Amino acid sequence: MRVRPSLDAAQDSELLLGESFTVYEDKNGWAWGQASRDLYVGYVQVSALGAPFAPQATVSALMAPLFSAADLKTPLRDMLPMNAALPVVSRERDYVDTGIGFVHQRHVAPEPEKDFVAVAERFLGVPYVWGGKTAAGLDCSGLIQTALQAVGLAAPRDTDMMEKALGEAIRIEDVRRGDLVFWKGHMGVMLDETRLLHANAYHMLVAIEPLAEAVPRIEKAVGPVTAVKRL
């Protein structure tokens, strides 16, 4: 999803396979519209949109190979990110036939994960990409939104909206695993009482660092911590 109808425009977010997108305007190969899941708006290439379908399975792997046949030696048609929603036409041995290719059953979740922090930690080392929310690259809010979605929890797309919508405020001195730490335009999640996991432009990837070191470093760039929220 781009801020303007151009491939040179900045990416603000991404639509995954199976996400609904309401088109309000269609012009010159670009659609202006709104994502149904988080109400985010932007421009999407019309060629990337398809007919709606009823999702029956969800990708649980960081990236799931989409095979051309029910055989791991066959050519790949695509790589599908975590939380991509899939139709199920049939099942063939260990593979799910989606109608557009085959996904191994081990890459498909029978039900949501339970620990969103563990999901977020799986993205450790993934590159930082503004507007991204897949293992190919993601930003700070994309990491948290993706992890929460994997456990069946809805969240807004941007940090300021998450800060307002999610959890209850606590003191930073009382942080524990799963607490969300917010700055102006940035956020991360605590792995325990001392370590912060966040996608950030300083390391240019999803990194773990001591909260005691992250707070003064980030404060120099964007200001002090604005909130700590417990889900």
Give the catalytic positions in this structure: 140, 186, 198
- In angstroms, the CA 59 to CA 148 distance is 14
- In angstroms, the CA 149 to CA 120 distance is 11
Give CA torsion, residues 173, 213, 142, 134, to 10 deg: -130
| CA-angle at 221, arms to 15 and 208, nearest 5° | 65
- DSSP string for residues in 153-199: ----SSHHHHHHHSSEE--GGG--TT-EEEETTEEEEESSSSEEEEE
Tokens at residue 105, please?
């059953």
- In angstroms, the CA 96 to CA 104 distance is 6
Other CB atoms within a 10 A radius of the CB of residue 122 amount to 17
Other CB atoms within a 10 A radius of the CB of residue 68 amount to 12
β-pairing verdict for 186-190 and 41-45: unpaired
Residues found in the chain: 231
Give how far the C-alpha of residue 65 lies from the chain's centroid of Cα atoms, to the nearest Å: 18
The burial class, CB within 10 Å (0-12 / 13-18 / 19+), for 24 is exposed
